[in-house]
Amino acid sequence: MKTLYRDTDLCVIGSGFGAAAPAMRMAQAGASVLILDRGPMIRPEKDLKQSMHPDYLRRYYHQLDGDGMSMTTVRAWGGASGFYLGISLRSPSMSFDQQDADGQRLWPEFLDRQFLDQYYDRAEHMLGVKQVGDNDVSRNGQIFSQIMHEQGGTSDRVRLAVSDCKKCGFCVTGCVHGSKHALYENYLPSAVSAGAQVMTDTRVNLIEPSPSSSGYLIFAERRTGTELQHLVIRASRVCLSAGTVGTAEILLRSRKALNLHTPIARHVQANIFYKRIATLPEALPDGEMYRGYGLPNVVSYDYLSSDEMVVIPYKAIPAQLMIRLRYGSDAQSWWGEQQVERMMAFRHRTFVLTASGSMPGSAQLSLHQGRMRLKYQMSASHRAIHRHREGILEDILRSADMSLGYAEEIDNRGRLRRDLHYTTTHQVGSCPIGTTTTERGQLIGHPGIYISDGSLVPASTIVPPSLTILAMGEYVAEQMLQD
């Protein structure tokens, strides 16, 4: 078994939305940069497929199942950027004012939407984010806009990091057409062009202070074919960008070596998804559940101020959310002629309405016998919020004369969940800025270790967090250049 030794100015652990800006900006400033990623290299034309086969999805998607909640992550070059829907929205101003149970603001006082807008500008420019045109709103999006208008509400077209979309509907399996502006199309090749080195299929196990000099030692292992290679990397600075779960895991494994006293993953936040399914009435035209953009490309902010959520019509059921459907009353059988007819009409006559909202309470991540554990305690007040938010979706659908269906979630082994259980891909806040780190994103008590990923974002972003994570990465990169 070989051990490889490397020296670098900056070691970036991860290659997703939080890693991209620090890696590129520091390499362009002349620093030697080494990027490590636990997932495989992505060559879109070779590695990506239009496939929902479980074996293919498990190559990139990984799910941490816990009590009351599951968190889905992506391990691949470019992180989740190759597999998300391309929706790139700035977090609403009110999301920066969220408070904890004691009434304390979760974000540092200086850090609000107005302050972050300058970094959003940089992120949008690099990603090529634009608002979709009217012709890019799908059938389901047009239906949603119509019913919101008829009910006195509003809707708006979303902003995407996508161009020349082929509308194949396989966004979450990786875009084979090069239409999605994934990080391996912009930030990451710019970093490599500026001299950054890359190692994929590399798992970081431990970080400790270097005994012989300032800086840190990173202990990792890399599998190349059938050979397992041990790595010892000496870095003047470290940027932890392994994601909300991954960064927390590395710090928990390194707690003793780094003598960490700051809280890690005690109050993890997330966007929570609410869903309701219905059949379209005869008065409304056919929808489309499969082909087209990943989402119908419209969103309503009508319930943002009152209920801390945005309403979004959905299309094809995403790979990370497996559900079984039935129509009619709770007591109705799954079987029978009517059920068969409804499922045959699923593609054009089924309508899925979802909401993305702030998380009631918080979750905890811990390390037990070498494995990550997740716990979310569902209180009575949390259940009441859930019922209220899903009730809003039901009211929208009923007001449009739709017949409600029922969606029951199953786990990744195909077992029906018997109790309310949240599944999210939008987890944040395991190492929040101002609590685990300084206001400059530096791990408290450890100069030279920066955190730049979803774990740094201290509160639910309500909308998809990718653009906020990237903007925060631009902010952290600026602090690194100044330090």
- Domains annotated on the chain, with CATH: 3-482 (3.50.50.60)
Spacing of C-alpha 99 from chain mean position: 21
Each residue's pLDDT tens digit, 203-241: 999 999 999 878 999 999 998 888 899 999 999 999 999
CA separation for the pair 44, 28 (Å, rounded):
25
CA separation for the pair 118, 12 (Å, rounded):
23
To the nearest 10°, report the CA torsion of 384, 386, 389, 391. Answer: -70
Each residue's pLDDT tens digit, 67-122: 999 999 999 999 999 999 999 999 999 999 999 989 999 999 999 999 999 999 99
pLDDT over 60 (residue 128): yes
Supply angle C-alpha 131, 134, 140, rounded to 5.
Answer: 105
User: Of 450, 469, 448, nearest to 187 (Cα)?
Assistant: 469
Contacts of 177 (CB under 8 A, 6+ apart): 164, 165, 166, 168
- In this prediction, residues 347-366 reach a mean pLDDT of 94
Each residue's pLDDT tens digit, 147-179: 999 999 999 999 999 999 998 888 999 999 999
- Which residues is 203 bridged to in the sheet? 221
Sign of CA dihedral 259, 200, 215, 468: negative
- Give the confidence band of 1 by pLDDT, cuts at 50, 70, 90: low
